[in-house]
Amino acid sequence: MSVLSHAKVRRGTVSLYRPLQITIIFVSFVILLILPVLSLFSEAVKNPDGTWAGFGQIVNYFKNPALLQSIQHSLTIASWTTVCALSLGFLYAFTISRTNVKGRRWLLAFAMLPLFAPTMMHGIGLIYLFGRQGIVTTGLFGLLPGIDIGLYGPTGIIIAETIYTFPQVVLLLYVALRQSDQGLYDAAKTMGISPIGRLAGITLPSIRLALISAGMVAFTLSFTDYGAPKLVGGQYNVLATDVYKQVVGQQNFSLGAIVGILLMIPALVAFVVDQAVSRKPTFQLNAKAKPLETSKHKVRDLLFGGFAYGTSFIILGLFVMIAFASVTPIWPYSLGFTLERFTFNSYTGDGFNVFFNSLFASLGTAIIGTIFAFLFAYWLQNGTFSRRLQNMGHFMSLLPMAVPGLVIGISYVLFFSKPEWSFFHIKVPNLLHNLYGTIAIIIVSSILHFFSVTYMTARTAIKKLDMECEQAAKTFGIGRITVFFHYIIPSCAPALLEMAMYFFVNSMVTISAVIFLYTPDTKTAAVSIVSLDDAGNIESAAAMGMLIVLVNIIVRVGYEGILHFNSKRLNRKGEVSS
């Protein structure tokens, strides 16, 4: 075959790949996101018996004083959580990025600890500290004066949600605060501008996008979270607990769908605002920028260091209390040591099955999710699609960020549980019905839930690649598949590892979507914590949570170890070649 024939075959193959790629992208999002969410909207205009109700069902919802109160409660919790998380998160991020406090890497690690535990675990830790029989409430069992903060209710929820959102806020602001030009601060000092003036005139404007994003993240996560209100909410109902009661408790999917739509509103607003703000010009470093130099200041370092270490001590103390609870025979009456809680046989018939289900689901989510997120990012970034198709694909890849996990769970129940779909009285067999009730639907829901962040990670990594290498490979007749596996994948290996770790850790701790999708055979460890707490077995719930935390920490340490080993290997190669 001639060279010309080879070129024609390659062009023909590529021309087949392009429509196949864009078809996979759009069909995936239509089936796994668009149609389920549309089924949620469709259910919202039906009566409990399935008959058409129009907007009457929604009107009736807003006439219910109890449900209106839940909306007000959710807004109150989310607003106070945002204020607390942003304030504490900024001070903490400033400490580890702009001061000379010692042990800043450890401080960052301690701040990330809440990410490794389900939100219910924060509630359990607070119960052992500030509950009716908590250490602080009883004054260390009568040795000291006790302090009762009234944990069960809005106070407890706000504290738990602040702990839950704190790591995300710190991480966003920490990255933004590290990107600064020392020249701006030197010029401000020369002009006699005070430290407060430099903070207001340089620091805060340079991180305004990160502040807005962090605020939106804190508000949305706390507005839609189910775990913390379930554990420490008491009689203080919020929308997230209402939707669970309506769907699981009363099988009222119509009312549950309305609550689910209400939960989407803050997430959609946050998504739109974040996208609009990110398009505006902002502070950027250029090639002439000087790295930020942190001057020595004993008073400043002492104050900020005291705050950061105090905050870390509280976070670490929370996890110590959870660990203590998991090995306590009967709190607070028998404070010995036992590992009986880790058998899980005395209180549930699940045993370790739920833990192994979580491991399997998280591994599946990490492997499959990483493959799909990276392929979608690569196809949209390097595919020769029209600009309109690329923008549509990019928008759809970001859209899952605006759909809370609880909404994904309800939507999947409505969409996948039915053996057939009905469109204008035309019945169509549901070919995906067999997914319902399996571990596969839990994996799919987790991939969708955490897709957007991993997609953006992959997109950023691919953008940093030298596209001239691909052009050179094309010149020498090397196929795109060969380039993909021998250049793209090795170059993006750190990003792929980060994506897999993100999928795994979040899949281990998530409960929002899974709480509606699990069966007795597919129950996960995070869901089991709720069941154990409902049965009054809080010690066993703490033990299950500690297993999740330990696994996630092991995965994180393994990830850091691989990156460190790879960095040393590359450095040795560089020394040999030089």
Tens of pLDDT, residue by residue over 375-417, are 999 888 876 667 888 888 888 888 888 888 888 998 999 889 8
pLDDT value, residue 12: 45
Which among 304, 90, 291, 307 has a CA at the least distance from the CA of 178? 291
What the block records as the tokens of 512 is 């929002």
pLDDT value, residue 467: 66
Backbone angle region of 141, left / alpha / beta, with phi > 0 → left and psi within -120 to 50 → alpha: left
Identity of the amino acid at 49: D
pLDDT value, residue 398: 86
Show Cβ contacts of residue 113 under 8 Å, excluding neighbours closer than 6 positions: 167, 315, 316, 319
Identity of the amino acid at 554: I
* Cβ 157 vs Cβ 228: under 8 Å: yes
The DSSP annotation for 534-571 comes to: HTT-HHHHHHHHHHHHHHHHHHHHHHHHHHHHHHHHHH
Between the CA of residue 207 and those of 10, 411, 526, what are the distances in Å? 47, 36, 35
Tens of pLDDT, residue by residue over 464-479, are 776 666 666 666 666 6
Please report, in tens digits, the pLDDT of each residue of the chain (578 residues total): 444 444 444 444 444 567 788 888 888 999 999 989 888 888 877 766 566 666 666 777 777 787 888 889 999 999 999 999 999 999 999 999 888 899 988 999 999 999 999 988 898 989 988 888 888 888 887 788 888 888 899 999 999 999 999 999 999 888 888 776 666 666 666 776 766 776 667 777 777 888 888 888 899 889 988 888 988 888 898 988 888 887 777 777 777 788 888 888 887 887 777 777 666 655 554 445 565 667 777 888 899 999 999 999 999 999 998 888 888 877 766 777 777 777 776 555 567 888 999 999 999 999 999 999 999 998 888 766 678 888 888 888 888 888 888 889 989 998 898 887 765 566 778 888 888 989 999 999 999 999 998 998 888 888 877 666 666 666 666 667 777 777 788 888 888 999 999 999 999 999 888 988 998 889 999 998 888 888 778 888 888 889 999 999 999 999 888 887 877 776 666 555 55
pLDDT value, residue 49: 59
